[in-house]
């Protein structure tokens, strides 16, 4: 049993609803996001297209971040999710360096959107975003998955471009639509697939 | 485009390990470890103590300063067989312990420890001057660092500075020997720097981008700081003295040692700054 996400790039309109939902759900600090949407121009004139590519932690089968973590804070769970124990993280940032997907960020300060005075929302959310540790997407493990809910980005996607479930359930979709992983040559075997 | 988003479509230098504490931690480790190693092998008592202190205090302080949660530093020992950083932390801890007992007799006026204690401490120091290179090489995200040359480059750089400081401190006969060793190490270091740049230029796209960064954006610290001040100038000073063409005065040797220390710092500075992420897409 391993969680997997499939993102249909034909459906994605780049509206950033997933980024906003993620930010609201996980209360990520200013300047940092667990989920984002990248825009890229592809092709050459006159055959030019602009595509939107949602990015998040790839929850790799063989994660580079787990191997380098010296404290054992980053672990690969049995359900396939790569999670961080914030109580164990020492803030060495080796995982950020090791991750080829830029999925992680380091919280260097404890400021909120309005400086040192945190809003009630920030006070609650930042308990899981302490200063001096690393954070990343974990498919909304504690706040949604544990309650039987889908990750916030999946639930909020206005074009239903995201599919979330067990890998076995999504394999047919991935194969039939020729889904691909990002940078497969690195051997990390991501659990996030993109449909062209 | 926002910097955080450009990560995915452009090459972007890493910023997490490009700040002063990381560079100083690596530099103190190399200088202290190199000096300790050379001094232990040649019996330079002052060098043994100075090297031990530089390594333990210098590296230790900046190592802690670089952590987001320094108060949790003991947790770094959790995975010695899986993580290079954890392995290095264990070696560092053992070095502090065994190095202390190795140096202890020096404080009472007798010679340093010997036998197993000496050999084990020297091995630990050797690991410490190379392991920064190992953990950089293990970072998958940055192709420019994925090279077996890095640990050797880091190790030779540390030994060069160690012999450099040693020759500035040693008495006549030992100073001459150290000058000769130092000159050879500087030549080896120059060759390794050349080989590393060559590896970058002929390797993956990410590594080639790092070479471009090294030779263009970082040309000042690379050519001026590392190659010029850190290798060629001390090589000239030490080489002439080693060949007996100049007197090899202590002032000149001190200058050479200071330049080599700068070289250690610039080597780490340019390698860390040239670490670029490849675009994800």
* A121-132 residue pLDDT tens: 999 999 888 999
Cβ contacts (< 8 Å) between A72 and chain B: which residues?
A: 75, 78-79
At B10 the pLDDT is: 75
User: Minimal Cα distance from B73: which residue of A?
Assistant: A90
What integer pLDDT is reported at residue A121 of this predicted model? 94
Pairing, β A192-195 against β A3-8: parallel
- pLDDT computed for residue B48 by the predictor: 95
Q: What is the pLDDT of residue B8?
A: 57
Residue with token string 């080796």: A94
Q: Which of A36, A69, A133 sits opposite B83 (nearest CB)?
A: A69
Number of residue pairs across A and B with CB atoms under 8 Å?
A: 120
| Fold annotation for A3-195 | Alpha-Beta Plaits (3.30.70)
Whole-number Cα distances in Å, B195 to B40, B148, B149, B190: 30, 11, 8, 9
Domain spans of chain B, in order of start: 16-277
Mean pLDDT of chain A: 94
User: Closest residue of B to A180, CA-based?
Assistant: B281
Amino acid B4: pLDDT = 44
Predicted local distance difference test score (pLDDT) of residue B248: 62
Taking alpha carbons only, the member of A123, A118, A156, A154 closest to residue A139 is A154
Is the distance from CB of A42 to CB of A48 less than 8 angstroms? yes
Every domain of chain A and the residues it spans:
3-195
Q: Are A20 and A155 in contact (CB under 8 A)?
A: no
Q: Return d(Cα A82, Cα B64) in angstroms, integer.
A: 26
Query: Between these two residues, B52 and B252, which has the higher pLDDT value?
Result: B52
ipTM of the complex: 0.87
pLDDT in tens, B210-222: 999 999 999 999 9
- pLDDT score, position B247: 66
Output the CATH code of domain B16-277: 1.20.1630.10
For B65-112, the pLDDT digits (tens) are: 999 999 999 999 999 999 999 999 999 999 999 999 999 998 887 878
pLDDT of residue A48: 87
Q: What is the DSSP string of A18-30?
A: HHHHHHHHH-PPT
Q: How confident is the model at residue B173 (pLDDT cuts 50, 70, 90)?
A: confident
What the block records as the tokens of B39 is 């001094």
Q: Distance, in angstroms, between B71 CA and closest chain A CA?
A: 8
What is the spatial distance between Cα B119 and Cα A132, in angstroms, rounded to a whole number? 38
For residue B5, what pLDDT band results from cuts at 50, 70 and 90? Answer: very low
Q: Return the structure tokens found at B99.
A: 């190095």
Q: What is the mean pLDDT of residues A161-189?
A: 94
Beta pairing partners, B123: none
Question: Is the per-residue pLDDT at B7 higher than 50?
Answer: no
């Amino acid at each position: 049993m391993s969680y997997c996400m499939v993102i249909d790039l034909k459906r994605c309109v780049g509206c950033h609803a997933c980024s906003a939902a993620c930010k609201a759900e996980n209360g990520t600090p200013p300047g940092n996001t667990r989920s984002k949407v990248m825009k890229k121009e592809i092709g050459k004139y006159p055959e030019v297209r602009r595509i939107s590519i949602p990015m998040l932690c790839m929850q790799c089968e063989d994660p580079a971040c787990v191997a380098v973590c010296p404290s054992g804070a980053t672990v690969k769970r049995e359900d396939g999710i790569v999670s961080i124990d914030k109580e164990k993280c020492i803030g060495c940032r080796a995982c950020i360096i090791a991750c080829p997907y830029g999925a992680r960020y380091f919280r260097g300060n404890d400021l909120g959107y309005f400086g040192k005075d945190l809003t009630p929302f920030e006070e609650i959310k930042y308990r899981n975003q302490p200063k001096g540790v690393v954070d990343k997407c974990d498919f909304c493990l504690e706040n949604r998955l544990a309650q039987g809910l889908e990750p916030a980005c999946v639930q909020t996607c206005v074009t239903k471009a995201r599919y979330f479930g067990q890998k076995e359930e999504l394999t047919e979709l991935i194969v039939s639509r020729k889904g691909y992983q990002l940078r497969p040559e690195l051997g990390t075997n991501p659990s996030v697939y993109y449909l062209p | 485009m926002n910097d955080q988003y450009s990560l995915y479509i452009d090459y972007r230098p890493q910023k997490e390990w490009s700040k002063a504490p990381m560079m100083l931690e690596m530099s103190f480790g190399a200088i202290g470890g190199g000096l300790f190693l050379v001094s232990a092998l040649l019996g330079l008592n002052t060098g043994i103590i100075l090297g031990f202190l530089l390594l333990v205090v210098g590296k230790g302080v900046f190592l802690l300063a670089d952590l987001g949660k320094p108060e949790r530093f003991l947790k770094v020992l959790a995975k010695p067989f899986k993580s290079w950083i954890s392995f290095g932390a264990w070696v560092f801890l053992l070095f502090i312990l065994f190095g202390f007992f190795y140096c202890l007799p020096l404080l009472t006026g007798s010679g340093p420890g010997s036998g197993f204690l000496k050999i084990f401490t020297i091995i630990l120091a050797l690991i410490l001057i190379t392991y920064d290179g190992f953990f950089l090489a293990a970072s998958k995200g940055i192709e420019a660092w994925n090279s077996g040359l890095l640990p050797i480059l880091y190790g030779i750089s540390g030994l060069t500075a160690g012999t450099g400081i040693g020759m500035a401190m040693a008495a006549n006969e030992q100073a001459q020997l150290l000058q000769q060793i130092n000159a050879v190490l500087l030549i080896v270091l120059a060759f390794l720097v050349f080989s590393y740049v060559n590896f970058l230029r002929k390797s993956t796209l990410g590594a080639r981008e790092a070479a471009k960064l090294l030779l263009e954006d970082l040309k000042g610290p690379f050519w001026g700081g590392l190659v010029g001040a850190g290798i060629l100038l001390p090589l000239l000073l030490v080489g002439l003295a080693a060949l007996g063409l100049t007197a090899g005065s202590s002032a000149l040797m001190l200058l050479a040692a200071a330049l080599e220390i700068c070289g250690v710092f610039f080597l780490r500075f340019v390698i860390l700054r040239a670490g670029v992420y490849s675009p994800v897409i």
